[in-house]
Amino acid sequence: MKYGYARVSTIHQDLQVQIEQLERENCDKIFSEKFTGTSKKRPKFQKLLGMLQEGDTLVVTKLDRFARSTQDALEIIQDLFNRNIKVHVLNMGIIENTPTGRLIFTIFSAFAEFERDMIVERTQEGKMIAKQNPDFREGRPRKFSRQQINHALSLLENHSYKQVEGMTGISVSTLVRAKKRFIAEKITE
């Protein structure tokens, strides 16, 4: 049988492109999951590996969908080769259980791991540079400015939370949190 495996790293990413590629390869069964590749805990992938039998083929769209590191990739591929299971990485081709096939696979795995590491390094460098800015705030940007929140809090003196929400567009829950913060700041002064 021909089994396909598709994976994305976050719940916000889409599996559809990979699944369509695997369908075009005529995979009999496709496993997919949204799980970071840096984790060994990929339950559907582990289930798939356990199901594969001699003569089966495992198809993945790219090498980085297959393993979390070069060492992990080599261990998985060796296990599959020992069980006479073929591996087809669509952007590389069929990985053959020959000295040349294993060498090429090892080199490509090392490059995939290197690329992943470089992305992480560039992301960390970008964060360090951004943190030098005194206005830097990690996470989602605030929807309302401090001035807008203060204005809404002043409106609460004469209006209900619902009325202030209607006037400013600031939700009741945000107003409640802001008021609690305001009171806490007053107490610590």
Helix (H) or strand (E) segment spanning residue 94: strand 93-95
Active-site residue flag, 9: yes
Alpha helices of 25-98 — where are they, by DSSP H?
43-51, 70-82
Taking Cα atoms as reference points, which of 90, 95, 101, 1 lies closest to residue 51?
1
Q: Are 60 and 69 in contact (CB under 8 A)?
A: no
Q: Tell me how far apart the alpha carbons of residues 74 and 76 are, in angstroms, rounded to a whole number.
A: 6
Selected catalytic residue, list 9, 32, 109, 154: 9
Residues catalogued as catalytic = 9
